[in-house]
Amino acid sequence: MPELPEVEVTRLALAPHLEGQTLTGAVVRQKKLRQWVPPDLDSRLRGRVLNRLDRRGKYLLADFVHGQLLLHLGMSGSLRLLPQDMAATVHDHVDILLGDGRCLRFRDPRRFGLILWNTEGAAHPLLRDLGPEPLAENFSGQVLYRRSRGRQQAVKSFLMDSHTVVGVGNIYATESLFRAGIDPRRAAGRISAARYDDLAMVIRTVLREAIAQGGTTLRDFFQPDGGNGYFRLSLQAYGREGEPCIRCGGTLRGQRLGGRATVFCPYCQH
C-alpha cells in the first residue's frame, strides 16, 4: 500500500503540471471504487482551475475555489499524466482532463482507492480526526509521549494509528523502530519521553530519505512517470526476516503485530 512518502512523491511530481491548469472535465469508466465516484464529477470539474495540489496523510487534495477533490491510492492505485487519446486499460478507472490535452489517469486494479468531492475542508469525516503530520512543526517526541500514556498497545501499532500520527505505515514504522532501537512489541505507554524524542527524529529522517529516493517500490507503487521508488534498497529491517542484523549480526525475527508483518532484531531492539 502506498504510504506517506509514496503519496508525497506523487504530489511533488504532479503539482507543477496540475496547479493553475483549467480542467475540461472527467471521464469515469468505473463508477464505484471503495466508495462511489461522484456522479457529477465531470460537471464539477469542467472549466474549473486547479489552484493547489496538497496532501494530508495519505490523501491527495486538489483545491478549487468551489471545493476540493480528495484522492486516495488505496492498496494498488497510481496516478499518471498521459495524452487524453491514449487508450485506457481495464484498470484505468477515471481520467481528469486537462486543458493542455493531457489527462490525470487514475489506475487501481484492486479498487480500494477513493475519488471524492469535499466542500467541508478539514471538517470532512476522513480528515478531521487525523493526527499530526510527521514532517510538520507540531510533531515531536512529546506529542508521541503524551498520546502514549496508559496505552498497552504495541508501539508499532500505536505509530500506525492515524489518530496518533498520519502516514507512518507498516514499512516506515518497522524501519523507524529498528533505527531507534525500540522493540515494536513494547507497550507504547512504557516508553520514556527521551526515547520518544529520538523516535520522532528518526521517523522524520526515514520519511525524508524515502521521499528523496522516490518512495518504496515493492509491488504496486510506481511514480507518476512510471519509474520505481528506490528506498527499498535502503531498507534495514522490513522484508529482511531471517537475514543478519546490520548492527549486531544477529538474525532478524519476523512476527505479526496487529495483523501486519513485523521484522525486528531481538538483540538490538528493546
Q: Single out the residue in 96, 123, 150 at which a domain terminates.
A: 123
Same domain, 42 and 111: yes
**Tens-digit pLDDT profile for the chain (270 aa)?**
678 888 998 999 999 999 999 999 999 999 999 999 999 999 999 999 999 999 999 999 999 999 999 999 998 899 999 999 999 999 999 999 999 999 999 999 999 999 999 987 777 899 989 999 999 999 999 999 999 999 999 999 999 999 999 989 899 999 999 999 999 999 999 999 999 999 999 999 999 988 888 765 434 434 455 544 445 567 899 989 999 999 999 999 999 998 899 999 999 999
Q: Is 3 a catalytic residue?
A: yes
User: Does 215 map to a domain?
Assistant: yes
Active site annotation includes 156: no
Question: Distance of alpha carbon 182 from its chain centroid, rounded?
Answer: 23
Please give the annotated binding residues, written as ranges: 91, 110, 151
- Shared domain for 99 and 155, answered yes or no, is no
Annotated binding residues for DNA: 91, 110, 151
Do 119 and 160 have their domain in common?
Answer: no
Q: pTM of the full predicted structure?
A: 0.86
Q: 19: domain range? A: 4-123
DSSP element (H, E) containing 89? none
Which of 48, 55, 58, 240 is flagged as catalytic? 58
Choice among 2, 38, 134, 224 that is catalytic: 2
| Catalytic residue from among 3, 6, 8, 175 | 3
Q: Is-catalytic flag, 186?
A: no
Asked if residues 143 and 199 have their Cβ atoms less than 8 Å apart, the reply is no
In this prediction, residue 258 carries a pLDDT of: 87
Does 135 map to a domain?
no
Q: Is 31 a catalytic residue?
A: no
**Number of folded domains that form the chain:** 2
Residue 269 lies in a domain: no
> Pick the catalytic residue: 185, 186, 247, 260?
260
Q: Please tell me the predicted confidence (pLDDT) of residue 1.
A: 65
Examine residue 171 and state whether it is found in any structural domain, yes or no: yes
